[in-house]
C-alpha cells in the first residue's frame, strides 16, 4: 500500500474526538410516537409549521393508535329503515334525519339486509313512482368491521374499496354501531360540520359495553356532566369537563394519560395540541359509576 492509500484509509475512519462528540452533534432520531410528537412540536415552536399543520400531523399519528369503538356512532343513536316499511313511512325518516345512508333491518334486531341510499329512493318520489318502489331492488351491500379494527387500517380500506360507511359488530357478531369515513377524517383534521349539523347533548355521554365506564365528549358542559353522574364539579372557573380535567393535569395531556378528580378517573382517549377531545370516565374506587 503506497503512502496516498494509507492516508485515504486513515481519513475514512472517524477520530476518537469524532466518536466522543457524535451523540451530541448529530440529531437524535425519534424512537417512539411520543418522541416524534415532541420533534413536531419543536418544529412548531421554531416556526417551521403552523398550529393547524401540527394538529393535522398529530391527528394522523394518533389515528394509528385508535380503534373503531372509540369513534363509532353507537347503535342507540343509529337511524334505521325497516324492509317492511312502505315508501310513505320511509320518506319522513329520510327528511327528518337528513342522512344519505340508512341501514335496513329485516325481521330481527341484528338482521341487517343492506344499505339504502337516499339518492336511490328520491328518484321514485320525483317521478311519482313510489308505488313501484321495492326496497330490496335498491339495497347496497353492507361492509362490516369489528370494534377492535384500527382507524388507520379502516381508512385504508375506505379508500381502496371505495365505500363511505361501515357497520360495526361486537365480539359476538351483534350490531354495535356504525362508522363513516368522515368520522375517521375528523380525528385527523378536526370536526367537519355542515349547515345541517346540530348539537346533540345526549351524544356527549354514552355508556361503554362493560357498563362500568363511559365515553365523554370533553366539551360536555359541566352542568350536564353533573346531572348525568350526580357530581358537584364547579362551573365557576370552567364551562366544560375538559377544562376541569386539563386544569387537574396542569398541562395539556397526551392520549392515555389519566387523572383522578373527586372520585372519578378520567383517561384521555383523544386530544390534539390545543384541547382534549374525548375522555373515558370510570369510578376510581372500582365501583360502577351510577348512570
Write the CATH number for 271.
Answer: 3.30.465.10
Residue 109 lies in a domain: yes
Shared domain check, 153 and 99: yes
Shared domain check, 74 and 178: yes
Shared domain check, 273 and 204: yes
Q: How high is the pLDDT of residue 114?
A: 94
Overall pTM > 0.75: no
Q: How high is the pLDDT of residue 24?
A: 44
Shared domain check, 180 and 215: no
Residue 221 lies in a domain: yes
Number of domains in the chain: 3
Residue 227 makes CB contacts below 8 A (sequence gap 6+) with: none
Q: Which residues of 173-194 are buried (b: 16+ CB within 10 A; e: fewer)?
A: eebbbbbbbebbbbbbebeeee
Q: Length of the chain in residues, anyone?
A: 291
Shared domain check, 157 and 142: yes
Residue 192 lies in a domain: no
Residue 8 lies in a domain: no
**347496497: which residue's cell?**
140
Shared domain check, 131 and 48: no
Residue 77 makes CB contacts below 8 A (sequence gap 6+) with: 177, 202, 203, 206
Shared domain check, 234 and 258: yes
3-state class of 213 per DSSP? strand
Shared domain check, 99 and 46: no
Residue where a domain terminates, one of 63, 85, 113: 63
77: nearest Cα among 10, 183, 221, 176? 176
Shared domain check, 41 and 139: no
Q: How high is the pLDDT of residue 13?
A: 61
Count each helix (H run) and each strand (E run) in the chain, helices first.
11, 12
Q: How high is the pLDDT of residue 54?
A: 74
Residue 103 lies in a domain: yes
C-alpha distances out from residue 289 to 101, 201, 269, Å: 35, 19, 18
Write out the chain's pLDDT in tens, 291 residues.
555 555 554 555 656 545 544 544 455 676 666 777 778 778 778 888 777 777 777 777 777 788 898 888 888 888 899 999 999 899 988 888 888 899 999 988 888 999 999 999 989 888 888 888 999 999 999 999 999 999 999 999 999 988 889 999 988 888 999 999 988 888 887 765 543 343 444 468 888 766 688 989 888 999 999 999 999 999 888 889 999 999 999 888 887 889 999 999 999 887 765 678 889 999 876 444 444
What gap in Å lies between CA 258 and CA 233, rounded to an integer? 18
Shared domain check, 79 and 50: no
Residue 17 lies in a domain: no
Contact 66, 211 (CB under 8 A): no
CA 18 from chain center: how many Å? 47
Contact 286, 275 (CB under 8 A): no
Residue 182 lies in a domain: yes
Q: How high is the pLDDT of residue 4?
A: 52
**415552536: which residue's cell?**
45
Shared domain check, 40 and 145: no
Q: How high is the pLDDT of residue 95?
A: 84
Write the CATH number for 131.
Answer: 3.10.580.10
Give, for 54, the enclosing helix (H) or strand (E). helix 51-63
Residue 288 lies in a domain: no
Which residues span the domain enclosing 240? 199-283
If one counts every other C-beta atom within 10 angstroms of the C-beta of residue 200, the result is 8
State residue 127 phi and psi, 5-degree precision.
-90, 0
Shared domain check, 123 and 84: yes
Residue where a domain terminates, one of 63, 82, 106: 63
Residue where a domain terminates, one of 14, 48, 63: 63
What gap in Å lies between CA 222 and CA 24, rounded to an integer? 48
Contact 289, 212 (CB under 8 A): yes
Amino acid at each position: 500500500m503506497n503512502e496516498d492509500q494509507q492516508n485515504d484509509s486513515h481519513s475514512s475512519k472517524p477520530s476518537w474526538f469524532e466518536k466522543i462528540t457524535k451523540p451530541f452533534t448529530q440529531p437524535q432520531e425519534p424512537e417512539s410516537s411520543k418522541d416524534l410528537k415532541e420533534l413536531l412540536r419543536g418544529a412548531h415552536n421554531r416556526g417551521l409549521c403552523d398550529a393547524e399543520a401540527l394538529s393535522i400531523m398529530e391527528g394522523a399519528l394518533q389515528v394509528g393508535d385508535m380503534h373503531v369503538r372509540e369513534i363509532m356512532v353507537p347503535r342507540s343513536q343509529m337511524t334505521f329503515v325497516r324492509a317492511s316499511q312502505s315508501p310513505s313511512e320511509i320518506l319522513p325518516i329520510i327528511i327528518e334525519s337528513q342522512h344519505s345512508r340508512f341501514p335496513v333491518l329485516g325481521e330481527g334486531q341484528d338482521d341487517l339486509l343492506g344499505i339504502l341510499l337516499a339518492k336511490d329512493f328520491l328518484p321514485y318520489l320525483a317521478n311519482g313512482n313510489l308505488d313501484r318502489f321495492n326496497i330490496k331492488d335498491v339495497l347496497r351491500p353492507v361492509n362490516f368491521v369489528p370494534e377492535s379494527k384500527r382507524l388507520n387500517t379502516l381508512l385504508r380500506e375506505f379508500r381502496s374499496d371505495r365505500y363511505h360507511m361501515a357497520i360495526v359488530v361486537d365480539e359476538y357478531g351483534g350490531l354495535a354501531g356504525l362508522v363513516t369515513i368522515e368520522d375517521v377524517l375528523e380525528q385527523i383534521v378536526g370536526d367537519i360540520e355542515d349547515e345541517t349539523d346540530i348539537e346533540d347533548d345526549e351524544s356527549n355521554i354514552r355508556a361503554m359495553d362493560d357498563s362500568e365506564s363511559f365515553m365523554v365528549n370533553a366539551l360536555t358542559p359541566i352542568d350536564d356532566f353533573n346531572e348525568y353522574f350526580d357530581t358537584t364539579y364547579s362551573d365557576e372557573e370552567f364551562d366544560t369537563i375538559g377544562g376541569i380535567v386539563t386544569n387537574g393535569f396542569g398541562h395539556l395531556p397526551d392520549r392515555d394519560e389519566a387523572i383522578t378528580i373527586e372520585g372519578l378517573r378520567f383517561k384521555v382517549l383523544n386530544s390534539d395540541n390545543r384541547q382534549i377531545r374525548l375522555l373515558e370516565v370510570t369510578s376510581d374506587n372500582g365501583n360502577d359509576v351510577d348512570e
